[in-house]
Amino acid sequence: MADRPMDMIRLDFDNLMAPGLSGGVEADEFAGGMAEAFGRAHAHVEAQRATGVLGFLDLPYAQESGQQAQKLADGFAQWFEDVVVLGIGGSGLGAKAVRDALLGPYWNDRSADGRDEYPRLHVIDNPDPDTMLGLLQRVDVAKTLFNVVSKSGATAETMAQYLVVRDAVERAVGAEHARGHFLFTTDPVGGALRRIGDAEGIPMLAVPPNVGGRFSVLSAVGVFPAAVCGIDTGELLAGAAAMAERCRSGRLAENPAGVLATLLHDAERAQGRSVHVLMPYSDRLRSVALWFQQLWAESLGKAKNLDGVLTPTGPTPVPALGASDQHSFLQLMMEGPDDKVVLFIEVEDHGPDAVIPKRHPEMSEFAYLGGHSLGELMNTERRATAEALRQQGRPNATLYVPRITPATLGQLFMLWQIATVYAGALYRVDPLDQPGVELSKKLTYGLMGRVGAPRPAMREPDPRWRI
Ligand code: PA5
């Protein structure tokens, strides 16, 4: 049987454009000034790419590192019943997005048989004692692999988790066997984690130096956790490569990442619509919206522009979930301040679907539901919500995902990552750095007593303002 051609994601941005949307972007503006601005952003990104700083664009083709992750996932990792990823920010959100999208809800609740004998997969990003102690009670530590993910190898939250877990593993299996329960994903050369790994002979995977945390989902950071549960990572990377090709064009109308970046930038800058809501109508894609939130916020929220001039910049990304948030956030989106753009994701084919039985034909309140399916209801509600927003003059667009597969997820990841670097060029900020997170880290080091970090003078709160 011939291979099925790859499902491709489509972007429908009609509800951002005039005349469909009252006050929407005019066609000649799109083809004129916006296309020119995008052309400049595209040239900027191509120049950056030539210098080698946009390493995430090469990840779909990085065969050697992909194979290394796959080999470890297929080999020693299959000895374990549970795999726990410890990593925060870009070192945790991608793995969560992959797990939730491709393994679906309740993976960890299935029997080993129901998981085709693959391990359960946990991603613990927050050093919250409740979660950590709960995890250590839930898993059999002696049969668990801990994948510690930290590019810098120094992040306080992840290192603290590692130390807690290391102790638990040593208690369970003895100090001499503990190292066999770890896999580190970190910088290829430097950092404390790599030093520990080198000293103890712990297996390690590398995050390329030119791939930043929030752009690392297609490196070993996301590929190992995917592969360990039997996800076809070749397909994930092939999907990402296909999207990278589609987004190579300097012509705005042909480049989906360019369209997203350009229209979202314009919505914020020219229309005051600074809240960018990503709202998948799929529980599986909820974590993709959380991943997007970090990518968009940490990349575009910057104090200084590329010339070093102080111009605090950045849209506010908000993750939402359809249909649930129609009963929570939609009222605000419809009638609250007109400062939002909503980006829906519709999954066209949800796979096995639940048909709604025809019962109570006498009850007009819900008789109409009978014979339809839950997937159909989700997609109809997405359509109705987009139209309701349009009628209210509220801009929105939809990404159509034919089915949730490794290939379409790879496309989604690549689409948003490329849109982010285009948006960085349009905003004229560096999307690859995050200087704003340093101060709170420094204060934490000082307060926790790190050697060389001065204890900060913290202002005592004014007692008048405490009740
Ligand atoms: O996107 C980023 O660079 C950050 O969110 C990092 O991923 C996060 O701070 C974790 O860093 P590290 O992987 O060094 O532990």
Q: Please indicate, yes or no, whether residues 167 and 297 belong to a single structural domain of this protein.
A: no
Q: Looking at 76-233, which runs of residues are DSSP E strands?
A: 82-86, 120-124, 144-150, 182-186, 204-206
Decide if 390 contacts 216 (C-beta within 8 A): no
pLDDT digits (tens, 9 = 90+) for 352-364: 999 999 999 999 9
Q: Residues 258-271: what's their mean pLDDT?
A: 97
Task: Decide if pLDDT at 195 tops 80.
Answer: yes
Q: Residues 241-254: what's their mean pLDDT?
A: 97
How far does the centroid of ligand 1 lie from the alpha carbon of residue 327, in Å?
A: 34
pLDDT digits (tens, 9 = 90+) for 7-25: 999 999 999 999 999 999 9
Q: Which of 431, 437, 436 is nearest to 215 (CA)?
A: 431
What does the pLDDT read at residue 63?
Answer: 85
Task: Tell whether 453 is covered by a domain.
Answer: no
pTM: 0.97
The percentage of residues in the chain with a pLDDT greater than 70, rounded to a whole number, is 100
What residues does ligand 1 touch, defined as CB less than 6 Å away? Answer: 88-91, 150-152, 155, 158, 212-214, 298, 434
Tell me how far apart the alpha carbons of residues 285 and 81 are, in angstroms, rounded to a whole number: 25
| Residue linked to tokens 């194979």 | 67
Q: Please indicate, yes or no, whether residues 93 and 239 belong to a single structural domain of this protein.
A: no
For residue 4, what pLDDT band results from cuts at 50, 70 and 90?
confident
Tell me how far apart the alpha carbons of residues 350 and 376 are, in angstroms, rounded to a whole number: 9
Task: Decide if pLDDT at 3 tops 80.
Answer: no
**Cβ count near 14 (within 10 Å):** 13
Question: For ligand 1, atom 5, which residue shows the shortest CA distance?
Answer: 89
User: Is residue 304 annotated as part of the catalytic site, yes or no?
Assistant: no
What does the pLDDT read at residue 1?
Answer: 46
Of 191, 214, 231, the residue at which a domain comes to its end is 231
Q: Please indicate, yes or no, whether residues 268 and 399 belong to a single structural domain of this protein.
A: yes
pLDDT digits (tens, 9 = 90+) for 118-150: 999 999 999 999 999 999 999 999 999 999 999
Cross-strand pairs, 122: 84
Number of domains in the chain: 2
pLDDT digits (tens, 9 = 90+) for 63-101: 888 899 999 999 999 999 999 999 999 999 999 999 999
What does the pLDDT read at residue 2?
Answer: 52
Tell me how far apart the alpha carbons of residues 382 and 280 are, in angstroms, rounded to a whole number: 9
Q: Which helix (H) or strand (E) holds 156?
A: helix 156-173
Q: Please indicate, yes or no, whether residues 348 and 203 belong to a single structural domain of this protein.
A: no
Tell me how far apart the alpha carbons of residues 415 and 419 are, in angstroms, rounded to a whole number: 6
- Residue span of the structural domain in which 272 resides: 10-51+235-432
User: Is residue 365 annotated as part of the catalytic site, yes or no?
Assistant: no
Structure tokens at 184: 């580190």
Q: What is the CATH number of the domain that holds 40?
A: 3.40.50.10490
Q: Please indicate, yes or no, whether residues 135 and 199 belong to a single structural domain of this protein.
A: yes
Task: Tell whether 466 is covered by a domain.
Answer: no
**Percent of the chain that is helix, strand, coil (3-state, to 5):** 55, 15, 35
Phi, psi of 158 (to 5 degrees): -70, -40
Query: Which atom, in ligand 1's list, is nearest to the CA of 149?
Result: 13
